[in-house]
Amino acid sequence: MTDIGIFGTGSHVPDRVVTNAEVGAAAGVDDAWITRKTAIRERRWAASDQATSDLAVAAGRAALQSAGITAGRLSAVVVATSTPDRPQPPTAAYVQHRLGAVGAAAFDVNAVCSGSLFALAAVEGVLARRGGHALVIGADLYSRILNPADRKTVVLFGDGAGALVLGPAGKGPRVRHLSLHTFGELSGLIEVPAGGSRLPCDQSALDAGLQYFAMDGREVRHFVTGQLPNLTKQFLHDAGVAPDDISHFVPHQANGVMLDDVVPDLSLSRATTHRTLTHYGNTGAASIPITLDVAARAGAFSPGDLILLAGFGGGMAAGFALVEW
């Protein structure tokens, strides 16, 4: 791949804080149970008049401000989301218009929680052809598709958006290597059954609750703990770096307890693992760019630091990026 420069980062979460006590009430669990199972203490949920594009626009503006460029200089706007405003048009079209990115190619990428890394790979091709700069936004609004009574899912998710401004690599931060994986035979582990061409969201689907997000949590955990260590080690080998060379690890913020279980098996002995899930929960495709932005704005990274980004989720899919700060 051609190195991609990172010119700025940004993120946005809704104002409304949803505590474990609030989200657990309808699901029949309490704060202690949720904390013990997930390490999540609160999350942010969007207001009733907000959609995914609203969060994406706010994060995109923050990233553009960080980069010091205007939206008019963008050649592409890519939104990674599995909770679009509507089935069509792409949510990126709304974002492009509201940001004023006239002339930018705008499209969505859906690789669920790995979506931001898949979007990075897509942008590499766009920049190679069109040049200029691109805006990649991971944005999800899961509160709209959660079953309030399903304790396996409703306690995990928050809403949010994170963004990166990308362009030709220079002396600053850059993406050095990318790798993407999909295990389609496991696609049934995470899904929203109704609402597509296979099963329209008609009254019978609504009565059966098939419009809600569904997940086989036990098998998802088996996938992550079974696949992530080997995939990570292979990725680092292919990138030409040793695990001890990694200074920072920014994983998808799926579940804090699961991360506690799997991170020691990655052999990243010198890396600081960054987390935002305690206060934001699992924000889907937004979780990696939000966490990267929070860490960057806190001054956690120094020039030359190697940062490993790792996403995993529905598909089942996994994505990795090596960033040199």
Residues with a known catalytic role: 113, 252, 282
Spatial separation of the C-alpha atoms in residues 43 and 279, rounded to whole Å: 5
Nearest 5°: the CA angle 286, 123, 57 is: 45
Q: Give the separation between CA 18 and CA 44, rounded to whole angstroms.
A: 6
Residue 18 φ/ψ, nearest 5 degrees: -110, 115
Rounded-to-integer distance, Cα 64 and Cα 71, Å? 7
Q: Can you list the alpha helix ranges (DSSP code H) found in the chain?
A: 20-25, 31-38, 52-67, 91-99, 115-130, 203-207, 217-239, 256-262, 277-280, 287-297
What is the side-by-side strand order in the sheet with 4-12? 105-109, 74-80, 133-141, 159-168, 4-12, 174-182, 317-324, 306-313, 248-251, 272-273
CA angle 113, 225, 214 (to 5 degrees): 45
The CA distance from 259 to 221, in Å, is 10
Q: Is 17 exposed, middle or buried (0-12, 13-18, 19+ CB in 10 A)?
A: middle
Radius of gyration of the chain (CA): 19
CA distance 120 to 178: 8
What distance in Å separates the CA atoms of residue 227 and residue 229, rounded to the nearest whole number? 6
